[in-house]
């Protein structure tokens, strides 16, 4: 086989190797988590934080209402026990019970608002979780294809490396040196086919 033909075959191997290696780099880059996936995860995290915030507020308001009810009951028990004889103290107890009743009404309204916000946050959390599951499923399917392509590319690169080594043993040393120098100077193309 002529040296020109051997060099041309080496060029074909090198060109394919370069293309496969570039594609392998793209495939590896594509295997990272996408912006869509990261955004979906962020949305779930935000929904969880919002839900936690409203549940915490609900618990705090419930505890405050519970304490307020206990205090109101103690004040009412004291008022109706007959143990308080001082008119001023009786008046103060009645005013305190009325104030506690107003505060209870306000707390109950706040609790109702928070319960509505919890329902909204739960719905938002569920929607975000479902969206994340869908995006993750799509991403995982894409990853399976990319992993398969990665294996195929790695195998082909291995084969091309072997072919290149075999091809270089058939080429005269001075021609191989000239080929390598031209290849470096001309962006990887040392030999090109001429068409009539």
Whole-number Å distance between alpha carbons of 131 and 123:
12
Whole-number Å distance between alpha carbons of 20 and 7:
20
Q: Are 144 and 30 in contact (CB under 8 A)?
A: no
* 34: three-class secondary structure by DSSP: coil
CB atoms within 10 A of CB 53: 14
Cα within 13 Å of Cα(138), Cβ side: 10
Three-state secondary structure string covering 3-29: HHHHHHHHHHHHHHHHHHHHHHHHHHH
Q: Are 17 and 87 in contact (CB under 8 A)?
A: no
Beta-carbon contacts of 190 under 8 Å, excluding residues fewer than 6 positions away, are 7, 11, 178, 179, 180, 181, 182, 183
Give Rg (Cα) of the chain: 39
Residue keyed to tokens 């839900």:
51
Cα within 13 Å of Cα(196), Cβ side: 0
pLDDT at 194: 63
**Model confidence, pTM:** 0.64
pLDDT at 128: 97
Q: In which element (H, E) is residue 76 found?
A: helix 35-81
Whole-number Å distance between alpha carbons of 54 and 65:
16
pLDDT at 20: 96
Cα within 13 Å of Cα(114), Cβ side: 18
Domain 3-185 indexed as CATH 1.10.287.1490: yes
Contacts 24+ apart (CB under 8 A), 190-194: 190/7, 190/11, 191/4, 191/7, 191/8, 191/10, 191/11, 192/11, 193/8
Whole-number Å distance between alpha carbons of 172 and 34:
49
Q: Enumerate the domain spans of the chain.
A: 3-185
Residue keyed to tokens 């329902």:
119
Averages of pLDDT over each 10 residues, the chain, 196 residues? 86 94 94 92 97 97 95 88 84 91 95 97 97 95 92 96 94 88 83 68
């Amino acid at each position: 086989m002529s040296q020109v033909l051997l060099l041309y075959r080496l060029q074909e191997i090198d060109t394919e190797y370069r293309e496969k290696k570039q594609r392998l780099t793209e495939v590896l880059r594509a295997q990272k988590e996408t912006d869509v996936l990261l955004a979906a995860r962020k949305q779930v995290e935000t929904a969880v934080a919002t839900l936690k915030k409203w549940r915490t507020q609900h618990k705090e308001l419930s505890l405050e209402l519970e304490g307020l009810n206990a205090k109101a009951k103690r004040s009412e028990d004291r008022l109706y026990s007959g143990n308080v004889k001082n008119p001023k103290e009786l008046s103060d107890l009645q005013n305190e019970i009325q104030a506690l009743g107003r505060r209870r009404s306000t707390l109950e309204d706040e609790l109702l608002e928070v319960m509505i916000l919890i329902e909204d946050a739960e719905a938002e959390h569920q929607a975000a979780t479902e969206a994340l599951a869908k995006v993750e499923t799509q991403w995982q399917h894409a990853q399976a294809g990319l992993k398969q392509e990665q294996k195929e590319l790695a195998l082909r690169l291995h084969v091309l490396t072997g072919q290149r080594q075999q091809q270089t043993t058939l080429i005269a040393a001075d021609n191989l040196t000239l080929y390598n120098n031209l290849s470096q100077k001309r962006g990887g193309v040392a030999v090109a086919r001429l068409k009539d």
